[in-house]
Structure 1
Amino acid sequence: MLPLSDTLVLDLTQVIAGPTAGQILGDMGADVIKVEPLNGEHFRPHFGGAWVPSMNRNKRGLAIDLRTDGGKDVLMRLVKKADVFMEAFTPGVIDKLGFGWDVVSKVNPQAIYASISGYGQTGPYAPRAGYDPCIQAEIGLMDATGPYQGEMCRVGTAPIDYSTGLACAGGIAFALLHRIKTGKGQRLDLSLFDVGMHLMSHWITNHGLTGENPERMGTSNTILCPLRVFPTKTQPVFVAGTNDAFWRLLCTALGRKDWLDDERFKTNAGRVAHRALLEGMIEAYFLEHTADELLERLIPAGMPCSAAYKVSDVMASEHAKARGSVLEIDYPGIGPVKSAANPIKLSAAPVETRQKSPAVGEHTVEIMREVGYSDDEIATLKTAKAIATT
């Protein structure tokens, strides 16, 4: 028995944040219906057609045109029996389509209604469209990211999107638990902006204390030293000397008593003050050794460190294989599609891929039959282009 068995989720979201949340719910046993336009969501062509398959396993597919009365009727029948309704339109759009919170909550008072947007349902920025890189710029993440004294950079993935998806899935689970206690549904207002602000939490705290903005430091850090990637004879190595104890451990593991005894480096404050000197000494030492030589001494000693890998390296790593971190599913016409596995591992409810990501409208007929449509009615709506089937 999976945690969300017998939970019906209507997933009207696209791209990353919403589909991530829906995929997690599906992995946990929910019957997630991916509701798409007749031609599919607009990111389907990306990655040679592999984008949507990578984001939507354990879902069924329904293709309808919400601009038609027939399409609206299909969705409304599902709304009446759904446990969760997810949407990620710019605020106001879903209301114009006839499925805003006010409408859905009246039709189904027990429904959990999750809205994902760039800036939230309230506030002066609410009407704006928002994508992960926009929020990275807005919250100061880009300004805090980049080479030392160099240009600002976008983080090389979509951390705010994926984090919003995780937050949405968690919020829905909390709301379902609240419904068990109260019998009532509620609305979740998830925004990339709020999640992004949460990701900047320690910099917000630091600014409140010091009035300082974070500096761009490459792989280093303004308040801790040594904490950065250092080149070696082979693979670069990242070390995280986040406190004085780890500094002592680093020196001991490498046999550098001279570093350990140097009064300038006794405390983190001293190491930060003498950063250029200290990092130069460490870099010179690391360049005399291979990454394996260094890691074989540092890791057993308990020093937080790692080789700086490429995506291809970590995907092939023994640890990723042991953890089942990468899934591979074969899709006709596309081939093997690799994607990240669900990071939530429950001992009593192991996650498995029960169903591949659906093609556009793959389960339209099946789902419509479940809510009372006859085959003749389905054929009529298909002819009227209110629905699409495979």
Structure 2
Amino acid sequence: QRVQPSQEAPPGHYDPTRIHRPRVRVPRPNFLTAVTRDGRWIQFANTTDRLCVSLMEALDLLHLYGEERFAKLPAVFTEEDAEALWERVLEQVRQRTLDEWRAVFDQRRDLAWEEVRLPWESHQHRQVRHNGHFVVVPGLQGQETLQPGPLFTLDGVRALQLHRAPLLGEHTDELVSLPERPPSVERGGGEASDGPPLAGVTILDFSSWIAGPLAVSILATLGARVIKIEPVGGDLSRFSTAGLLAFPMTQGKESLAVDLTRPEGQEIVHRLVRRADILLHNYRADVPRKLGIDYETCRRLNPELIYVNASAYGDSGPDAGKPAFHATIAALAGNQARQAGAGHPPRDIDRLGLEDLKREAWRLIKAAEGNADPIASLGTAAAVLVALHLRDRHRRGYYIVTTMVASNIYANSDEAIVFPGRPPGQQVDEQVLGLGPLYRLYRAAQGWVFLACVQPSEWEAFCSLVGREDLAGRWQEAWGEGAAHLAGELEALFLGRTAREWEEAAIRADVPLVAVEERDPGRFFMEDPRMLSLGYSVDVVSPVHGKYRRHGAYWRFSRDRLTFGPWEPLGGHTVPILRELGYSDQQISDLVQRRVVEAWEGGRA
């Protein structure tokens, strides 16, 4: 989409005309939402040429490529072209039912799509059932209860001990009668750590796009040495969003560009596998075997290797080979529907014209940006840390499978639960302001605030702050039929001060209320003094781009330091890594000339 170029402004100064993301009124052609004839909403995510061709063919719209404006789909030249395509897709999809489209889509391996579900509906998905992402446990009253199961598998075994939720105070007597014993690990004191927590750990990162590479980037901040193995010519991230995606995906890593379709390239990687602690990829189906990095091959080379398949759907089952992106996983796991607002999306579409359908579809795609990729990254990083702990205890390697699906079901675990008599799930209101009058956004005289009174004592403190003690007795009303009336009173009340004035007063009174940050999220984290002081953004120096600011700490340790590396040029460490593996300069030159490897022209000794 067309965007006005950003203008420079002094560091720390916020200019609302400067934007990180394009402000557009229609979705991109690669992330379209549509509704079927029987009112079931579908999220598509066909963001590459191959996937888009598959979608157009499945929808009987392949002829659109004959029009000049659609010849380079999923890329288009104008918003008008994007809107025209969107309208064609909306009209086409609602010609058939969901089951009819499923029969068509299931015939195509290269098609990314999912039905939009609520969190408590995700257990019905066939791949979720196959993976065992939900398990049955006894409920509090003994009834069968479905809840999220294992986050990952270890050597094909679902890594989870099943326990029901305890009754209130059920174990009090048992716990208070336990004898005192010293902690198993010495706490406090001692010398400061010499380095980061994962110092000495080597990870080979073969993953692409976002979920896999970001998981490894998280581990890199903990001090792991990460070697990013890229194809000659570069990883996909180097071409997406004008190369900006490569920054978070390569930061803190060493780039080795190598052609794994050639025996000499596979030999280079096999030498690395023998030395590595962890190998991570997110390839589909039989790709690892073709590239010489399948599990059996790697296990023979290094029996203590932790081998991680950071998949979308899993390594077996009906949808194991299906492509996925953040929007489709958000649709499956409930992220999307949960943030769309009460009453959205509607199932009764007969009364909706095209413009109404577009408004609903646009609302849904924006709701999908409760982004499933970084959620999956955190799940994968957690699984790797567990496997490292087990490897160090048992001195053996493990085969781990994580899925984007499981991680995102866990992110919705408070609502991803099913049992007889389950009350309706809690949903944000139709305006997407919040869950009720005491937990929602309010417009102030200038800006917005968020009130979050989840305890009666907090509500009482707020009523005292605003001089409306008469409201304190309406706690129950706030969560019942009187909610709308109370919200209206609070809306008028909040217009009496600016957002910053409300926040300052709330801090003094210990009331859970904050002013809403209205800057672009990127600028907030990169420019706000509080974010800088907390280490959420840090300055690094790139050999190409010079000094720039990147995201910083996900966590802090009392005695361990974290590591933050810069953007890495393609093949930036090819030469030093090959030397480390025993290749002579003459051999390296030969490999470069024959395009078995690619080395950064800036060079590293």
With normalisation by structure 1, the TM-score equals: 0.91
SS at match of 1:382: helix
Comparing both structures, which one devotes a greater share of its residues to helix? Answer: 1
Distance 1:350 1:229 in 2: 37
Q: Answer whether contact 2:304 2:397 (CA < 8 A) is retained.
A: yes
Letter in 2 for 1:281: E
Partner of 2:579: 369
Partner of 1:348: 559
Distance 1:110 1:366 in 2: 25
Deviations 1:115-136 (A, max 9, x none): 1111122332211111111100
Range that drifts further, 272-281 or 210-219: 210-219
Partner of 2:494: 286
Distance 2:442 2:480 in 1: 16
Higher RCO, Cα 8 Å, sep 6+: 1
Q: Answer whether contact 1:136 1:196 (CA < 8 A) is retained.
A: yes
Q: Summarize the alignment of residues 1-390 of structure 1 with structure 2, pairs less than 5 Å apart.
A: 1-147=195-341, 149-150=343-344, 151=360, 152-155=364-367, 157=369, 159-205=371-417, 210=422, 212-217=424-429, 218-222=431-435, 224-261=436-473, 265-267=474-476, 270-309=478-517, 310=519, 311=521, 312-313=523-524, 315-331=526-542, 334=545, 337-353=548-564, 355-390=565-600
Which structure would you say has the larger Rg? 2
SS at match of 1:250: helix
SS at match of 1:359: coil
Deviations 1:349-383 (A, max 9, x none): 12133x42321111111111111212222222222
Deviations 1:287-310 (A, max 9, x none): 121112211222222222221112
Deviation at 1:315, TM superposition (A): 3.9
Range that drifts further, 228-237 or 330-339: 330-339
Deviation at 1:104, TM superposition (A): 1.1
Letter in 1 for 2:412: M
Deviation at 1:335, TM superposition (A): 5.9
Distance 1:108 1:198 in 2: 32
Structure 1 gaps of 5+ residues are none
Distance 1:47 1:333 in 2: 18
Distance 1:206 1:100 in 2: 38
Letter in 2 for 1:132: H
Range that drifts further, 193-202 or 16-25: 16-25
Distance 1:349 1:386 in 2: 39
Q: Answer whether contact 2:502 2:515 (CA < 8 A) is retained.
A: no
SS at match of 2:238: coil
Letter in 1 for 2:475: K
Distance 1:153 1:275 in 2: 29
Distance 1:220 1:243 in 2: 19
SS at match of 1:89: coil
Deviation at 1:110, TM superposition (A): 0.1
Distance 2:389 2:580 in 1: 26
Distance 1:145 1:158 in 2: 8
SS at match of 2:501: helix
Distance 1:301 1:148 in 2: 33
Distance 1:255 1:156 in 2: 40
Deviations 1:86-119 (A, max 9, x none): 1011233213322111221122110011111111
Letter in 1 for 2:508: P
With normalisation by structure 2, the TM-score equals: 0.60
Letter in 1 for 2:484: A
Q: Answer whether contact 2:282 2:311 (CA < 8 A) is retained.
A: yes
CA RMSD, 1 decimal: 2.3
SS at match of 1:362: coil
Distance 1:216 1:257 in 2: 27
SS at match of 1:342: coil
Partner of 2:157: none
* Pair 206,277 (structure 1): closer, same or farther in 2 beyond 3 Å: farther
Partner of 2:47: none
Deviation at 1:332, TM superposition (A): 5.8
Distance 2:307 2:420 in 1: 35
Letter in 2 for 1:202: D
* Pair 181,313 (structure 1): closer, same or farther in 2 beyond 3 Å: closer
Q: Answer whether contact 1:91 1:117 (CA < 8 A) is retained.
A: no
Q: Answer whether contact 2:238 2:246 (CA < 8 A) is retained.
A: yes
Deviation at 1:60, TM superposition (A): 0.9
Deviation at 1:245, TM superposition (A): 2.4
Deviation at 1:225, TM superposition (A): 4.1
